[in-house]
Amino acid sequence: MPSKKLLHKYAEVAVKVGANVQKGQPLMISANVDTKEFIRVLVEEAYKAGASHVSVRYNDEVINHHNYEYCDLDVLGTVPNYIVDQFNYYIEKGYALISVHAETPGLMADIDPIKIQTASIANNKALKSWRDHTMGNRTQWCVISVPTAGWAKRVFPEFTEELAIDALWEAIFNAVRVLEDNNPVSEWEKHNEILHRHNEALNELNFKSLHFKNSLGTDLVVELVKNHVWAGGNEKSTKGVVFNPNMPTEETFTMPYKFGVNGRVYASKPLNYNGNLIRDFWLEFKDGKVVDYDAKEAKESLKSLLEFDEGSSYLGEVALISHDSPISNSDILFLNTLFDENASCHLALGRAYPMNVKGGNSMSQDELDKLGSNNSMEHEDFMFGSEDMSIIGLTQDGKEVVVFKDGNFAF
């Protein structure tokens, strides 16, 4: 384990910069039970920051595996009312959220994807109000990660378990700007300013579409919704509280037009989806929808994602990240989307964030649908950036602008 000083610094920045828990505000923490030592520190820092109450919801991925293995589909497809009531309570009382994402890649490889999909659909339907609440920025929320033995050994298989955990801690601390001798809160303030400059430049250009090409075979045109908004770094809740939803983050992202994506995209990194690693896959889009696809590994899991619901085969996000960036330069494949997506340009299958169109957070779903915003119970990022990525932006008046050259921002 790292020093107590580093653990407390990480917890403090997650509470104060990530979720930005306000004095008197309650906080819900969702976490893998294997991260309990850090969660205790996180709870303490939340109370020190003024949280009125901290509720921790643990999950155990080994027990989850047993559930998938032995439960019938009708059981997996049922969400008890008390769980729905609990999340409605979090909404009613204004809880902020910190989700500590740490799962073992590939743990569910032997589980029938239909079982995982059935449970996931049931949860998404039952907890739709909570998903709308967080994705609509009606409260502050933040996703972070801490090492577990299973995850660390997948990232650093050549190390002993203890050394692998230590190495993953070091990689995470570097990615989230937590060092022994720095002030991570001020570091994040500086980092957010850089991301906002990218947002401002892209919003000023107001592109109609982006054309992506690289040597992997990607040749994809992504049209953007009218009045789209580029965002990245910290955001503001509907109550006016600034927060950082992802730690780490290097992206600037916006909303694609649901029916305006055409061409083929090749993933540049594996996707860890529901405990299965989908490797070497591609997607073919026509008028926004995935019409063909393939994968060298876990194709059934990719099929499960694309057939999750009507919107999961359309895009809800396009994000730009220079190849020359801290997580990319670490040359570590984290097998965790929170980190890997911040090493590479990425796209998201599924729901769009309402904040990525002007006035979106105050719109109904019907209003968003009319603008061409994608709606889904899923939102799954996958990476397609590369060191030779070219991006040409087409402005509203037909002018072409070089956005990326050789994998990096050209401005």
CA distance 347 to 63: 31
Which tokens go with 79?
Answer: 């969400």
Where does the chain hold its CATH 3.40.1830.10 domain(s)?
A: 4-175
Tens digits of residue pLDDT in 273-317: 999 999 999 999 999 999 999 999 999 999 999 999 999 999 999
- Residue-level pLDDT, tens digit, the chain, 411 residues: 899 999 999 999 999 999 999 999 999 999 999 999 999 999 999 999 999 999 999 999 999 999 999 999 999 999 999 999 999 999 999 999 999 999 999 999 999 999 999 999 999 999 999 999 999 999 999 999 999 999 999 999 999 999 999 999 999 999 999 999 999 999 999 999 999 999 999 999 999 999 999 999 999 999 999 999 999 999 999 999 999 999 999 999 999 999 999 999 999 999 999 999 999 999 999 999 999 999 999 999 999 999 999 999 999 999 999 999 999 999 999 999 999 999 999 999 999 999 999 999 999 999 999 999 999 999 999 999 999 999 999 999 999 999 999 999 998
Cα separation, 265 vs 283, in Å, equals: 5
Task: Measure the CA–CA gap between 408 and 345, rounded to whole angstroms.
Answer: 10
Q: Tell me yes or no: is domain 4-175 CATH 3.40.1830.10.
A: yes
411 CB-contact burial (10 Å; exposed 0-12 / middle 13-18 / buried 19+): exposed
In tens, the pLDDT along 174-193 reads 999 999 999 999 999 999 99
Nearest one of 151, 165, 172, 35 to 104, comparing CA atoms: 151
What pTM was computed for the model? 0.92
231 and 254 Cβ atoms separated by less than 8 Å = yes
* Angle, helices 61-70/113-126, rounded to nearest 10 degrees: 110
Which parts of 176-266 fold into alpha helices (H)? 184-205
Strands of 79-226 (E only): list them. 96-100, 141-144, 207-213, 219-224
3-state secondary structure of 239: coil
Contact 32/59 with Cβ under 8 angstroms?
yes
SS3 178: coil
Kind and range of the H or E run holding 92: helix 81-92
Dihedrals φ, ψ of 258, to 5°? -50, -40
Q: What tokens were used for 344?
A: 């590479």
Nearest to 334 by CA among 176, 154, 177, 157: 154
The pLDDT score that the predictor gives to residue 284 is: 98
